Structure 1
Amino acid sequence: MAPEKILLPLSPPKDKQAVSLPELTDAQVKMQENIQAHFTKDGYTLPDVGSSGELMEEEKFWLSYECQLRYLRATKWKVDEAIKRLESTLKWRRGFGLYNHVTPEYIEPEAVTGKEILFGFDAHGRPAFYMVPSRQNTTESTRQVEFAFFMLERAIDLMDVGVESLDLLINFADKAKNPSMSTARTVLSILQTHYPERLGKALVINVPYLVNLFFKIITPFIDPVTVQKLKFNPNVVQEQIFAENQVMKDYWGGNQDFEYQHEKYWPALIQLCQSRKAQWLENWKRLGGTIGIHESAYKGDFQAPEKTSGDA
């Protein structure tokens, strides 16, 4: 009897190789403290947004200690520039509708063919974000771009303690339809501007001539650091990027015989991500619900602050 197909997303693995970042210097510690002080000063409001400048709970949660460091690293440790970029992203997240518009219900028509899938984790615990352009099912539109970042946000929901980035796995087999230059540039611009330090690797297979030409055309628009993360036609198992049981069998060489069935996969993914995010938010609130809380604190071995006799 043939083994049953895998139809559901995988939960994060317990065993992974930690990604270690260099220890902060005294000067870098001070830089993070300056950013923290900027966003937590009395009366702080997001500039140039009128009367709605007060930060929402979700925005304070997003402004974690690690988030501040990601923007500092991306700006080569320039505090003023990091603050400007953080504020720019806060405004973009509102305008893009991540908190109210780009919902599972709104975005679901883009998901029905499995053209973008979260499944498995690499050796460092990074979520694998599969893109299958041949399964494109809608005319090019704003919603396609919104879907890509909805799925990226769900990948972030799947990042365990110590994991801050994801892997893109793009398969151009089966007469894949190439996105237009304008769409590609829009996605790249958003990724580089508003998701710094989030890309672990970009693994691309079955690259035909026209797609290869396409990548050569868009490469000048990609940050040089990002270009170094691109890898064409890798054997992800032999190269020990993924363990066999964390990657799809078809095309990618793993042993997971995954089949996309939307009615099973989609609600399971949404429930998994929502339950993890809800638990993190609850932990974050019990830790004080403030800007700058460590992601490792609310994701990891969470310990609620002990109540004193004066607490309610």
Structure 2
Amino acid sequence: MATEVANNGDIAHDVHDPEKTAAELADGIDQVKLDDKASSGVDDSPLPTEKIPPTSSSSPPPPALPKSSADGLIKTPLAAPLETSKPVSRPPLTSEQETKYATLLEKVSAWTEIPETSARGAPTSPLTDSEYMFLTRDALLRYLRATTWDVAQAETRLRNTLIWRREYGLEKHTKDYISIENETGKQVILGWDNHGRTCQYLRPSKQNTERSDRQIQHLVFMLERAIDLMPPGQETLALLINFAETKSGQGATIGQGRQTLNILQNHYPERLGRALVTNVPFYIWGFFKLITPFIDPLTREKIKFNEDMGIHVPREQLLKESGGHVEFEYDHTVYWPALNELCESNRAAAYERWVKGGKRIGEFEGYLKGGEGEVSLSETEKNVPIEG
């Protein structure tokens, strides 16, 4: 994927190596230019469309997870960010930005049906609960920021994202379907950086499958899981890409990189917080040089090459192979069920809160994620003083 990333640009329909797409991931996530063909890209929705697992007060709690390197050999995701890992608060919106948000919210709230695919004349069907739930205040703001506060463009991109999610078939990409792609641990979600960003490791040398659509679907699946594990107040992730021991044959094609970029830049805007790339082979450097002109300056600043990852991620939650203290051993039979159980639990809890809050479009993600002191949109509206 990193190779593909390097070949940033438009996206074709034959992409597959998520690990190499790391770099594209990095630059693509923040690019806002909407390609009309972007309908086949990816969005930044926090949960899979129809697959919201039911919860019950009688359900057993998930098993206790380790917290840091102090817990010895680690084979599962970690439980939570360290107390020292705190998201940086965004500045309050200006009055003009609030007005534009209100306008977008009004437009989106009027949606009742959307097309099943991006094809001209495609049949439409009602929005589902998970699609409505995706339309949080934070999601709307991400699309506004990604379009430089152009309400019309933001509305178009949001609609295209929901259509893409249907057409791409995210809910068909179950943990069992994706499982084979991660059997060697070529992607690992573990720990959080200094600002509470979920750390998603891409390890190209662990490539274990032939190029296929499922490789890109795997990357998207793991990106969704990283979003599931974002703590309240944080909406970006950290990509940690280690090319150590990667062979040239394990790289992705230019077409794959472009396809991945198309997905990321059109449907996961404002999701990249940091990309840390280490041990880059000479043949990958060539790709990076080629794509640099296509990377916007803001995104470029987020990509760091061969820096000490411990500067950005607490060493107690950083893999030893990346300069941290965590002794990690990937055992698919242990890690995969633990990751998915944790994410399913988080999504189910968020859905319960959304229902309790009145199933509102424009709900607060901090509330959905159970943030301390966070209340629902409905509760906030009740507490607004009446003027006059």
Instruction: Give the structure-1-normalised TM-score.
Output: 0.91
Report the Cα offset of residue 5 of structure 1. Answer: 1.9
Deviations 1:170-218 (A, max 9, x none): 1111134221111111111211111000001111000111111121123
Q: Judge conservation of contact 1:185–1:221 (CA < 8 Å) in 2.
A: no
Distance 2:204 2:323 in 1: 19
Gaps of 5+ in 1: 307-312
Percent identical across equivalent pairs? 44
Question: Counterparts in 2 of 1:11-160, with a 5 A limit?
Answer: 11-13=79-81, 15=83, 16-41=85-110, 44-46=112-114, 50-98=122-170, 100-160=171-231
Equivalent pairs counted in the alignment come to 299
Question: Counterparts in 2 of 1:277-292, with a 5 A limit?
Answer: 277-292=347-362
Q: Judge conservation of contact 1:113–1:135 (CA < 8 Å) in 2.
A: yes
Distance 1:223 1:183 in 2: 20
Query: Which of 233, 251, 264 pairs up with 2:334?
Result: 264
Question: CA 1:303/1:198 → structure 2, altered by over 3 Å: closer, same or farther?
Answer: closer
Q: Does 1:191 align with 2:264?
A: yes
Report the Cα offset of residue 21 of structure 1. Answer: 1.4
Report the Cα offset of residue 135 of structure 1. Answer: 0.7
SS at 1:228 equivalent: helix
Distance 2:115 2:340 in 1: 33
For 1:152, the aligned partner's letter is L
For 2:241, the aligned partner's letter is I
Question: Counterparts in 2 of 1:152-231, with a 5 A limit?
Answer: 152-176=223-247, 177-231=250-304
Query: Which of 345, 364, 367 pairs up with 1:294?
Result: 364
SS at 2:288 equivalent: helix
For 1:245, the aligned partner's letter is E
Report the Cα offset of residue 223 of structure 1. Answer: 3.6
Report the Cα offset of residue 4 of structure 1. Answer: 4.4
Mean CA deviation greater in 51-60 or 189-198: 51-60
Distance 2:300 2:375 in 1: 40
Report the Cα offset of residue 51 of structure 1. Answer: 4.3
Deviations 1:246-288 (A, max 9, x none): 11011x1111011111100000000000001100100111001
For 2:100, the aligned partner's letter is M
Q: Judge conservation of contact 1:126–1:166 (CA < 8 Å) in 2.
A: yes
Other-structure match for 1:310: none
Q: Judge conservation of contact 1:116–1:131 (CA < 8 Å) in 2.
A: yes
Deviations 1:59-96 (A, max 9, x none): 11111000000000000000000000111111111111
Mean CA deviation greater in 281-290 or 52-61: 52-61
Deviations 1:91-112 (A, max 9, x none): 11111111x2111011111010
Distance 2:319 2:236 in 1: 20
Q: How much is the aligned-residue C-alpha RMSD, in angstroms?
A: 1.8
Instruction: Give the structure-2-normalised TM-score.
Output: 0.74
